[in-house]
Amino acid sequence: MQALTNRAKQVERQPMSFLERLYLVAIFKGMLITFRHIFKKKPTINYPEKKRPFSPVFRGLHILNRDAEGRENCTACGLCAVACPAEAITMEAAERQEGEEGLYKEEKYAAKYEINMLRCIFCGLCEDACPKDAIYLSETFAPADYQRKQFIYNKQELLIPHPVKEPEAYKKALGNRVPREKINPAI
């Protein structure tokens, strides 16, 4: 039979010698490789205690931003929803009434805002489309769950903690991602 490539190698099918039949040499060779790794630098980290730094372009769970006074930035303009290739974002808008000025930044706000994380492909187009600095993809993974209904995230779950009322949680939610400009000022 003609070989397809010239890289084919004929396998030797000679009976093993006595030394080879003992397997001791082979075992020793194998253990040598194993023990050599003890002295090497460990590439694994103890995950829940230690975490790797995120890439500056990592796209995780969405977060709905608030301004410095804690007012919601989102005005339910629908640009994230129309940009979404997976049609994962839905919302319903309402008018801000008198007395609600401290809650919502603009005249119109999202009364309901939902992201279906089962549909979401974490492409970040919603973040690009947002004209109001309102939606960001954070450093958090969508946690696994047994039930599908747990993946429909409503506005309360997406909102960033209040910067005035819950400053620690807010700071934690901001994450410790290094801004891209600091890594590469050319961008």
Partner 1 sequence: MAEEVKTFKVTIDNITIDVAPGTTVLNAARQIGGDVTPPAMCYYSKLQGSGGKCRTCLVEVAAGSSADPRPMPKLVASCRTNVMDGMVVKNITSEKVTDARNGVVEFLLLNHPLDCPICDQAGECHLQDLGYDHGKEGTRYEFKRRTFEKEDIGPYIQLHMTRCILCYRCTYVADQLTDKRVHGILDRGDHAEISTYISKAIDNDFSGNMIDVCPVGALTDKTFRFKNRVWFTKPVDAHRNCENPKCCGKATLWLRGDEVFRVTARKDEWGEVQSYDGKAGWICNTCRFDKKNSSDWTIEGLSKISRHSVIGANKYKTLEMPRETVNAVMGGRDPKLLMNIHNVSEVNNPSIELSHIQGPAHGSDFSHSKDHVDGAGESTQWGMKK
76 binds partner 1, rule: CB under 8 A: yes
**CB 185 to partner 1: min, Å:** 22
Q: Which stretch binds partner 1 (CB under 8 A): 9-17, 30-38, 107-115, 178-186?
A: 107-115
Amino acid of residue 112: K
140 binds partner 1, rule: CB under 8 A: yes
138 binds partner 1, rule: CB under 8 A: yes
| Residues in region 16-35 near partner 1 by CB under 8 A | none
Which is closer to partner 1, CB of 34 or CB of 97?
97
Angstrom CA distances, 180 to 5, 54, 55, stand at 48, 12, 9
Query: Are 114 and 89 a contacting pair, CB within 8 Å?
Result: yes
Q: Which stretch binds partner 1 (CB under 8 A): 23-31, 35-43, 45-53, 152-160?
A: 152-160
DSSP-derived secondary structure for 23-85:
-HHHHHHHHHHHHHGGGSPP----TTTS-PPPPTT---SEEE-B-TTS-B------HHHHH-T
How many residues bind partner 1, per CB under 8 A? 53
The Cα angle at residue 153 between residues 68 and 102, in degrees rounded to 5: 25
* Eight-state DSSP code of residue 104: B
Report the C-alpha gap between 25 and 42 in whole angstroms.
27
**CB 66 to partner 1: min, Å:** 9
| Site residues, partner 1 (CB under 8 A) | 61, 63, 72, 75-79, 81-82, 87, 90-95, 97, 100, 102-104, 106-109, 111-114, 116, 131-132, 138, 140, 143, 145, 148-150, 152, 154, 156-162, 165-166, 169, 173
